[in-house]
């Protein structure tokens, strides 16, 4: 007999029932352990540990039902019940599709067995030797509980797919829809504030002054778009662009480091992770009303930035179009449905653009990227921790004929005689086939190193000519798990492409649409060792 009372066998008749409950709990976890190992390794491992603990404590009870064993049973089962509740209520990392899935049959069997084990353990600890029990009854009751438990487990495991836990995740059951919905917005208390001003600038689509793709001066075809002169605007246009500032005084422009110079006319990259709140303090320095309308994130009617008959009034309208010189703060939440879905990597792309007069505003240049990283996967700046280099690229035939600044550009950069505004050749000369606002390879070099995790975020804006097929020379990417070296874009679509470059050199990155190639929609990226 042990000197320590907690190690002494108490010989409770409840031990058979507790052991049967433990064995049932172990059995109920086994059918889905394989799927969990595949989908969320740590959950699979925890399932194996839990099942092993249940089997071991059951054996210990039958051999020597010391008080400490009952306590171990209660702790183990309480932890399992707690984890189950958490996975259904708040969601555990990597398997948030279990949120709301309270009716999963195997889960019900496991939780019932675990709860019964806790209650029976309490009864065992309170049992006194003075009580009288029929000799064989406890063992028979335990055997009956075990049979019942294993039968329920088998029935639950055979339940139709879609209700049997991870095995049915692809079926159109509750788990599918909980994945679609994502878990509700749970704030992590972090608000990321961006100070963005729409500023009028003189933008040059070809600042290098020659064709960086051929390495030669512009030829006659290129001159159609870039040469200024009588009745031709050339490569420079008056535009209004989103630009980042350091604070609400808008006194200091945020400087872009050299490796982000390629971003060109894009607004500052708005980064956040799921759980954050994004705040955009917007100042409109354009000569026309403008707004900030985001894609993907959660916005209420007072932060949508788009005027239309939506039945709103007052403050819910004030965001729609901020007058010249005006200011407005937009607030957007980042729930799970704004972040990576089941087929995404650690981050997704959205964008923001002015939507006061959507077409004119975006041709003026008011566009920028948004990047949302999965909860818990972001660096302090919001970028995904598993990505070394991020590149954002906008493919757009910027139709300067439809920009609010056409007249301004004409009188500032063209020489008289000025053409009729509907002159066909003049119109063609104002179609700037650009990547981030650069033509004919004039974009500052996009740089990266071999072996880096590089994530390309590519998007298109515009009209029916804006079907673009960005193509990488030298290296391949995966998009949604599929290998490619060319992706498809239509206006306002966004594609995330992951690359681990293995081929050093200066490589072409261009739209593969023939007409767009001739008009200069090409750039280069450089991979160094």
- What is the Cα–Cα distance from 233 to 414, expressed in whole angstroms? 4
* Tokens read off for 408: 């301004």
Cβ 295 to Cu ion shortest distance, Å: 21
Q: Do 509 and 525 contact (CB within 8 A), yes or no?
A: yes
Please, where are the H alpha helices in 64-133?
A: 67-89, 105-126
Element (H, E) at 398: strand 389-399
Cβ 417 to Cu ion shortest distance, Å: 33
Cβ 464 to Cu ion shortest distance, Å: 12
Cβ 511 to Cu ion shortest distance, Å: 3
* Residue number, 286 or 511, with CB nearest to Cu ion: 511
Cβ 491 to Cu ion shortest distance, Å: 11
* Residue number, 81 or 511, with CB nearest to Cu ion: 511
Cβ 516 to Cu ion shortest distance, Å: 3
Cβ 395 to Cu ion shortest distance, Å: 6
- What is the Cα–Cα distance from 267 to 245, expressed in whole angstroms? 11
Q: Do 65 and 157 contact (CB within 8 A), yes or no?
A: no
* Residue number, 422 or 464, with CB nearest to Cu ion: 464
* Residue number, 205 or 413, with CB nearest to Cu ion: 205
* Residue number, 145 or 351, with CB nearest to Cu ion: 351
* Residue number, 62 or 465, with CB nearest to Cu ion: 465
Length of the chain: 529
List interacting residues with Cu ion (CB under 5 A).
468, 511, 513, 516
**Residues forming a β-bridge with 197:** 243, 283
Q: In what order do the strands lie in the sheet with 347-353?
A: 270-273, 367-373, 347-353, 293-294
Give per-residue burial for 381-419: e unless 16+ CB within 10 Å, then b. ebbbeebebbbbbbbbbbbbebbbbbebbbeebbeeeeb
Tell me if residue 81 falls in helix, strand or coil: helix
Q: What does the radius of gyration of the chain's CA atoms come to, in whole angstroms? A: 32
Cβ 519 to Cu ion shortest distance, Å: 9
| CA neighbor of 244 nearest in space, from 195, 211, 279 | 195
């Amino acid at each position: 007999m042990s000197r320590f009372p907690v190690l002494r066998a108490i010989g409770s008749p409840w031990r058979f029932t507790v052991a049967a409950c433990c064995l049932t709990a172990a059995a109920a976890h086994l059918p889905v352990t394989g799927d969990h190992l595949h989908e969320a390794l740590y959950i699979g491992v925890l399932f194996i540990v839990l099942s092993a603990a249940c089997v071991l404590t059951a054996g210990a009870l039958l051999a020597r039902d010391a008080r400490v064993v009952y306590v171990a049973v209660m702790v183990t089962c309480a932890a399992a019940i707690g984890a189950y509740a958490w996975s259904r209520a708040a969601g555990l990392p990597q398997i948030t599709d279990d949120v709301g899935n309270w009716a999963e049959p195997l889960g019900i069997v496991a939780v019932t067995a675990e709860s019964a084990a806790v209650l029976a353990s309490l009864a065992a600890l309170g049992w006194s030797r003075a009580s009288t029990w029929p000799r064989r009854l406890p063992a028979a009751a335990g055997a009956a509980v075990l049979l019942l438990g294993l039968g329920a487990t088998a029935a639950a495991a055979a339940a139709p797919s879609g209700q049997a836990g991870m095995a049915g995740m692809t079926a159109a059951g509750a788990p599918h829809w909980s994945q679609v919905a994502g878990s509700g917005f749970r704030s992590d208390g972090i608000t990321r504030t961006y100070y963005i001003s729409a500023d009028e600038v003189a933008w040059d689509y070809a600042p290098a002054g020659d064709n960086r793709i051929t390495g030669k001066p512009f030829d006659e075809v290129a001159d159609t778009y870039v040469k200024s002169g009588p009745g031709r605007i050339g490569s420079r246009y008056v535009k209004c662009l989103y630009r980042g500032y350091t604070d609400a005084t808008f006194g200091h422009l945020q400087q872009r480091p050299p490796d982000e110079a390629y971003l060109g006319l894009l607004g500052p990259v708005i980064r956040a992770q799921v759980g954050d709140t994004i705040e955009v303090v917007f100042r409109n320095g354009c000569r026309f009303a403008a707004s900030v309308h985001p894609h993907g994130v959660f916005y209420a009617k007072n932060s949508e930035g788009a005027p239309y008959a939506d039945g709103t009034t007052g403050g819910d309208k004030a965001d729609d179009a901020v007058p010249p010189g005006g200011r407005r703060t937009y607030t957007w939440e980042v729930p799970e449905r704004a972040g990576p879905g089941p087929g995404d990597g650690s981050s997704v792309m959205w964008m923001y653009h002015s939507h006061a007069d959507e077409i004119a505003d975006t041709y003026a240049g008011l566009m920028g990227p948004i990047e949302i990283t999965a909860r818990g996967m972001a660096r302090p700046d919001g970028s995904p921790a598993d990505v070394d280099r991020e590149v954002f690229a906008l493919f757009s035939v910027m139709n300067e004929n439809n920009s609010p600044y056409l007249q301004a550009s004409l009188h500032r950069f063209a020489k008289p005689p000025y053409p009729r505004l509907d002159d066909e050749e003049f119109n063609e000369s104002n179609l700037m086939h650009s990547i981030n606002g650069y033509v004919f390879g004039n974009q500052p070099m996009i740089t990266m190193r071999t072996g880096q995790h590089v994530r390309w975020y590519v998007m298109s804006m515009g009209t029916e000519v804006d079907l673009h097929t960005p193509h990488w020379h030298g290296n391949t990417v995966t998009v949604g798990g599929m290998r490619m070296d060319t992706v498809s874009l239509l206006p306002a679509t966004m594609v995330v492409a992951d690359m681990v470059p293995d081929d050093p050199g200066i490589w072409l990155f261009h739209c593969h649409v023939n007409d767009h190639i001739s008009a200069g929609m090409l750039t280069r990226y450089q991979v160094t060792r």
